[in-house]
Amino acid sequence: MNADVAPRLGGWQQAWRLAAAALLGIPVWLYTGVLLPRGQATETGSWFVTGDPLVAIGCLTVLLLRRRFPLAVSMTVAIASTVSTLATGAALLALGSISTRRRPAEIGAVVLAYVTASQFTVGLYSIQSPPGPMWTELAFPALTAGIAVAMGMAVGARRAEVRSLRDRAESAEREQTARAAQARALERNRIAREMHDVLAHRISLVAMQAGVLDHRSDLTAKENRVLIRGIADSSHQALEELRGVLGVLRADPGRPEPPQPSLDRIPDLVADARASGLDVTLTTTVTGTPSDVVGRTCYRIVQEGLTNAAKHAPGAHAHITLTGTAGDELHVSVHNSPATTTIARPPTSGFGLLGLSERITLAGGRLNHHPTPDNGYLLTAQLPWPRDDHEKGT
């Protein structure tokens, strides 16, 4: 809604305002009748008895439109009050209404019209008034106009304050709704990343081992048992890890989350991959222990690299390289050679690298992944590793 347009009034609100304006004009009209010569006030057909009230009724009717056409209505009523003492209340209501807009030029024009009209009203009726200075004839209409202007400006200021408070409340509500929606989106993304990181690796290994069983008819009974045992172990571990994620989601918010895998768990991750049939080697020259965030992100990078190798390059050799030291960067590289066997590929979500990119960005690092000239694939990342305070002092 336009700030210059006052809110629409209800029927009752319009009625009592117009009634108050009519009642305010009655004393002025009666006082004028008392000052008129004997018999003129009650003479049938005189302007005082017929025209004056009719003009006042017309002014009150026009005031119904004062919020749609504030300046035009106010000027019309102020000028019309020249020929109607009973319309004095209507003129003051119009002056107060225009003052709520708090525009000095408009207020000044209506005040001038009102005070000027009051002087012509004095000459409308044959009332004998004692001679006196000009300012005394202007004092009363100027005083009443000042009171109406002051009340109107106070109402306008209050209306603007209420509007400002309402706008601020609506803006705060919109911001709160936006923050809640953003928090829900971030939480959904976090849950999706955790579910992918926990399950994709295990399920990929299960799918790879099942694919080998399906396509290799020359395996010995011992090799079959190893693969079947690997499928069972990976499935069991996937269920355990899924139970852990669901436990975190259902846990009391006040309880601490269980520890997440970090850099020290990467050898175990590599061992599990080897036990599942992947050809993996690990080379690390990392000195020191990074923060939990950096270590956990590094673990997820290696996990995603092995998962992609198992999905898209069955039978390939994967080489993991970890380098870095405190105060510099932690470099992670997962390179796999081309696939050596062809098996049915498991379905892919397409969100693994996207979620990994979000993780690395949150940690302040950089991610790069691309095919290599030998038809393999290379996944690299650089993670910041700031030196801890106790290490800076050594």
| Residue at token pair 């892919």 | 348
Mean pLDDT over 15-23 rounds to 85
pLDDT at position 321 over 90: yes
Q: In this predicted structure, what is the pLDDT of residue 281?
A: 93
Q: What is the mean pLDDT of the chain?
A: 78
Q: What is the pLDDT of residues 170-226, one digit of tens each?
A: 888 888 878 877 777 776 776 666 676 666 667 777 777 777 676 777 777 777 777
Q: In this predicted structure, what is the pLDDT of residue 134?
A: 60
Mean pLDDT over 310-330 rounds to 88
Q: In this predicted structure, what is the pLDDT of residue 25?
A: 83
| Residue at token pair 């955790």 | 194
Yes or no: say if 84 and 55 are a contact pair by the CB < 8 Å rule: yes
Query: Which pLDDT band holds residue 368 (cuts at 50, 70, 90)?
Result: very high
Yes or no: say if 110 and 78 are a contact pair by the CB < 8 Å rule: yes
Q: In this predicted structure, what is the pLDDT of residue 391?
A: 47
Mean pLDDT over 131-137 rounds to 59
Q: What is the pLDDT of residues 210-228, one digit of tens each?
A: 776 767 777 777 777 777 7
pLDDT at position 345 over 80: no
Start-end of H helices in the chain = 11-35, 51-62, 70-80, 88-99, 104-124, 134-215, 221-250, 266-275, 292-312, 352-362, 389-392
As a whole number of angstroms, the distance between CA 287 and CA 292 comes to: 15
Q: Write down all domains in the chain, each with its CATH number in brackets.
A: 11-175 (no CATH), 187-392 (3.30.565.10)
Supply the DSSP symbol for 368: E
Q: In this predicted structure, what is the pLDDT of residue 1?
A: 43
As a whole number of angstroms, the distance between CA 376 and CA 318 comes to: 10
Mean pLDDT over 324-335 rounds to 91
Mean pLDDT over 295-323 rounds to 87
Q: In this predicted structure, what is the pLDDT of residue 198?
A: 66
Q: Is 330 exposed, middle or buried (0-12, 13-18, 19+ CB in 10 A)?
A: buried
As a whole number of angstroms, the distance between CA 229 and CA 105 comes to: 91
Query: Which pLDDT band holds residue 342 (cuts at 50, 70, 90)?
Result: low
